[in-house]
Amino acid sequence: LRKSGVLNFASHPWLFIEEMSQSFVQKHYNAVYSRLTLCSTFSLDQDGEVLAPEELLFRAVKLINESHNAVGAQMDVKFRSLIALAVCEQCLHLWFDLLCSCPEQDQIRIKFYHSWSFIRSPIWRQIKCELRLLAQFSFNLSVDYEVADIVRRKKNLNLSKTLKKKAFSNMLPTTIRSSFDQPLKEGVRDMLIKHHLFSWDL
């Protein structure tokens, strides 16, 4: 991958896939979006036979962005989730073909990759042949496994913070603690009981 930006950071493959998937449907966005909505409404794409590979890629990237952005997932997690989805749908080799072969997207490939990279060299055809073998097997990978792990870690972190806060409050002097944390004295308890029992107007 090429380096980009003022700080000369390397680009991420997810950014490349995002831009490629958008470029595939940009010219016919309204028609593609209507077809995606129709397929989603009537469950027409269960076997991936209605949508073209580029439309499936666009839909997959969109869904992963929506679900993963909600929990603040990094691009590495999104990329691995997309690979898992492609393997389960037996279309990884088709998507890889799209990313490497379409001449209309040459400028995007030049933007992200050097000329000696696999994406821009003839070797991608051999890689595609190797990836095609995966389509002969059935996989049931969890696309949101890492998302669930992120949510679980956040819950554990919040629980840990709560426990630490509670432990810290127990370490404070009794004069600083809230009066609600102190046990009620006998006189106060009796007063509250009497007030509760005899506070109704008869």
Please state, as a whole number, how many other Cβ atoms lie within 10 Å of the Cβ of residue 120: 16
What is the residue whose two structure tokens read 């630490």?
A: 164
Tell whether the model's pLDDT for residue 15 goes beyond 80: yes
Summarize the confidence of residues 157-168 as an average pLDDT: 58
Contact 95, 119 (CB under 8 A): no
* Spatial distance between the Cα atoms of 35 and 19, rounded to a whole number of angstroms: 20
Query: What is the per-residue pLDDT across 45-59, written as a single tens digit (0 to 9) for each?
Result: 544 456 788 888 988
For residue 72, give the amino acid letter: G
3-state class of 141 per DSSP?
coil
Q: In this predicted structure, what is the pLDDT of residue 47?
A: 46
* Spatial distance between the Cα atoms of 21 and 32, rounded to a whole number of angstroms: 12
Longest CA–CA span in the chain (Å) reads: 94
Query: What is the per-residue pLDDT across 60-107, written as a single tens digit (0 to 9) for each?
Result: 999 999 989 988 889 999 999 999 999 999 999 999 999 999 888 899
Residue spans of alpha helices (H) in the chain: 13-26, 29-42, 53-69, 75-88, 92-101, 106-112, 124-132, 145-171, 186-197
Contact 57, 92 (CB under 8 A): no
What is the residue whose two structure tokens read 């997690």?
A: 77
Q: Is the pTM value of this prediction over 0.85?
A: no
Among 22-26, 28-32, 91-95, 119-123, the minimum mean pLDDT is found in 28-32
Rounded to 5°, angle at Cα 92 from 61 and 33 = 35
- Domain chopping of the chain, boundaries: 13-152
Structure tokens at 73: 């997932």
Query: What is the per-residue pLDDT across 175-189, written as a single tens digit (0 to 9) for each?
Result: 444 444 444 445 555
